[in-house]
Amino acid sequence: MTSTLADKWTFFDKFIQSLRYRRVVHLIPKGSVVLDCGCGNGEFLRYAHKRIARGYGIDTVKGDFAGGETGTFMEGDLDQKIPAEDGSLDVVTGLAVLEHLNHPVVFIEEIFRILKTGGCCVLTTPSPRAKPVLELLAYKIRIISEKDIKDHKTYFSREELRRLFCKFSNVKIYYFLFGFNTIIVAKK
């Protein structure tokens, strides 16, 4: 979730992150006001800059924020209230964040609160199927960040995700990267 985790990322971690970016960027409608949760250094906002009118990134540690001209950093804890106005955002993203949270229900409720009616959130999280593979890659082979994998709290099943997003009117949940990652697209 935090930029301090991303600071320890390997080449392979960064490669997987780039695959996430490519997979979700087209889900952001052009001209959107976007909040990227767990933004780290703001790289996703910079990557998506052609699609967004204004971008905000939130994380627990600022670090070297690279969100570009359209990005603004906000410090905050995603297990608590997000410092954004009710109904103020078109899109909320969170790429590989949900699994790191102690209170995912609070996070999803906050996303619902800050999204405009008709807005959507786009989240990714590893599937339960990914857990043994990620642990092997982190602890045995050591090609991904051990610190990042140790910070995973939950690997959400499709049913658990449906319950988390029960307030949203239209929820699509599908797998990518050989079923090891899940994308959730939920509209308010």
What pLDDT does 1 receive? 36
> For the domain 3-187, what is the CATH code?
3.40.50.150
């590989």: which residue's tokens?
96
Select from 123, 128, 133, 129 the least CA-distant residue to 173: 123
- Dihedral angle sign, alpha carbons of residues 53, 92, 44, 65: positive
Q: Which two tokens stand for residue 13?
A: 């971690």
Q: What angle do CA 83, 117, 59 make, to 5 degrees?
A: 25
What pLDDT does 5 receive? 60
Burial class (CB in 10 A: 0-12, 13-18, 19+), 140: exposed
């603004």: which residue's tokens?
72
- Measured CA distances, 138 to 48, 70, 100, 141, 166 (Å): 29, 34, 16, 6, 33
Beta-carbon contacts of 171 under 8 Å, excluding residues fewer than 6 positions away, are 161, 162, 165, 184, 185, 186, 187
pTM: 0.93
Beta-carbon contacts of 23 under 8 Å, excluding residues fewer than 6 positions away, are 124, 176, 183
- Tens digits of pLDDT across the chain (188 residues): 334 565 567 898 889 999 999 999 999 999 999 999 999 889 999 999 999 999 999 998 766 776 667 788 999 999 999 999 999 999 999 999 999 999 999 999 999 999 999 999 999 999 999 999 999 999 999 999 999 999 999 999 999 999 999 999 999 999 999 999 999 999 99
What pLDDT does 150 receive? 95
Domain limits, the chain: 3-187
Select from 83, 39, 80 the least CA-distant residue to 57: 39
What pLDDT does 2 receive? 38
Cβ contact 99:153 at 8 Å: yes
Q: Which two tokens stand for residue 175?
A: 């797998």
What pLDDT does 105 receive? 98
What pLDDT does 7 receive? 57
